[in-house]
Amino acid sequence: MTMRRVLFSCVFTATAFAQATLQLSMSRAVEIALSPEGSTRVALAEQSITRAETQVSQAKSALMPTVDGTFGARNQTVNLRTFGFNFDFPGFALPSVVGPFTVIDARAQARWSVLDFASLKRYRAVQAGVDLSKADVEVTKTQVTDQVARAYLAALRADAAYDAAQANMTLSKALVDQASSRKDAGSGTGIEVTRAQVQLANDSGKLIVAQNDRSRTILQLLRAMGLDLSVPVQLTDKLSYTMADTGATEALLQRARDGRVELRAQKQKEAVARLNTSAVDAERLPTVGTFGDYGGIGQPKLGLERTRTVGVTVTIPLFDAGRRKARREESNSQLRTEQLRTRDLEQQIELEVRLALESVRNAETQVSTAREGLALAQNEVEQAQRRVAAGVGIPLEVTDAQARLDRARDNQVVALYTHNLARLDLAVATGHIQEFVQR
């Protein structure tokens, strides 16, 4: 009965672990990273939209009328002599101090800037700032997608390196068994067994390193996704070769100019700077405002009398000791800075496209060479084994061929990883990283 409980517990634990394992493709990894529970960078970037929208509301309020209600009550005495009133007459005198008396004043006051070009320009600049915040969010999402994709490719490389190390380990074990069998049959020597065991020990060490590297890359992938580092993960993709879509260079450059969210965000920054400059220029224009109030004023015993005030103000800037000029120069400098950044980014994008395109072409050649080398190395090992079995070769040929096969497998892993990384660089450079992720 105890043994049955133990077996049931083991089965239940294994089932729960299998259910908790996260089946993860590259597209799924990116989807999780961009979700509200994923990358912190995306969540922080989205908060900037909320702040920009509140700034729009604040700027809009400067264009709308404001209405305030006031209520005042005061009890006072007044010395008439302080106002120049002197009522001293021969034989008759009036008091110089009047009061105490109570005055109540209750009214509504309204103000409205009917014509204020500077506030209108600032409102449009803040509105453009919302679009800029949205563009910055898209830039952040692209950067997070790039980070997760690279982490996923690194994990695929570590996974492929681990599989290659296991294949090398399996071959080494088989060669140790063959050497031992030949020694037992009297056709081999002890040095052959030792040599095979040394190679087995080397491959065993490489397998441990590959296993550690795979665990490390998985942890880095989870961190990039914003997940708990204790989540077990199984990658559903494999490191493989996919032909890259490399068209004409000019077509790729135009595609990059249209697709790069960084360039759109930078152009939006330039537009905001231009609007801020025009807002400062508009401060030199006259402004027209209206004001008014309506209410009652009087004494409690006599009652309140209704009074009102209505007026128009025209403000013409004349002299401010150069403050507007300094701010105008500052805004113009900021505009020129953004224009320079836009031009520099365009040149950087062109450089990235050309470098990525060259890397893809070189990586394709590297993959072809690695495949050919692996096929030749596998054929060499098989031929060496047949020569030894036929008695026309020595076991050292097998050991040498095995070492070259190990290097060929490593070369293929590196070539495939380099090719996929080059494809990712080209997708990022042209602004179409989502197409790479979804493949």
pLDDT (0 to 100) of residue 70: 92
The DSSP H or E segment spanning 251 is helix 249-259
pLDDT (0 to 100) of residue 153: 94
Look at the block and give the residue holding tokens 């002299």.
Answer: 319
* Cα–Cα distance, 436 to 319 (Å, whole number): 59
Look at the block and give the residue holding tokens 């008439």.
Answer: 80
Q: Terminal CA-to-CA distance of the chain, rounded, Å?
A: 52
Helix pair angle (190-225, 395-430), 10° resolution: 10
Every domain of the chain and the residues it spans: 23-66+117-285+322-438
- Phi, psi (deg, nearest 5) at residue 290: -120, 155
C-alpha distances out from residue 397 to 168, 172, 373, 383, 401, Å: 16, 14, 17, 9, 6
Q: Does domain 23-66+117-285+322-438 have CATH number 3.30.360.10?
A: no
pLDDT (0 to 100) of residue 89: 65
pLDDT (0 to 100) of residue 87: 67
**317 is written with which tokens?**
């800037």
Q: What is the DSSP letter of 131?
A: H
pLDDT digit string (tens) for the chain, length 439 residues: 443 443 334 433 333 444 478 899 999 999 998 887 777 888 888 888 888 888 888 888 888 889 999 999 988 898 887 877 776 666 666 777 887 888 898 999 999 888 888 888 888 888 888 888 888 888 888 999 999 999 999 999 999 999 999 998 888 888 888 888 878 877 778 888 888 888 889 889 999 999 999 999 999 999 998 888 888 999 999 988 888 777 788 888 888 888 889 999 999 989 889 988 888 888 888 989 998 999 988 887 778 889 999 999 998 888 888 888 888 888 899 999 999 999 999 999 999 999 999 999 999 999 999 999 999 999 988 888 888 777 777 778 888 888 888 899 999 999 999 999 999 999 999 988 888 888 7
pLDDT (0 to 100) of residue 5: 43
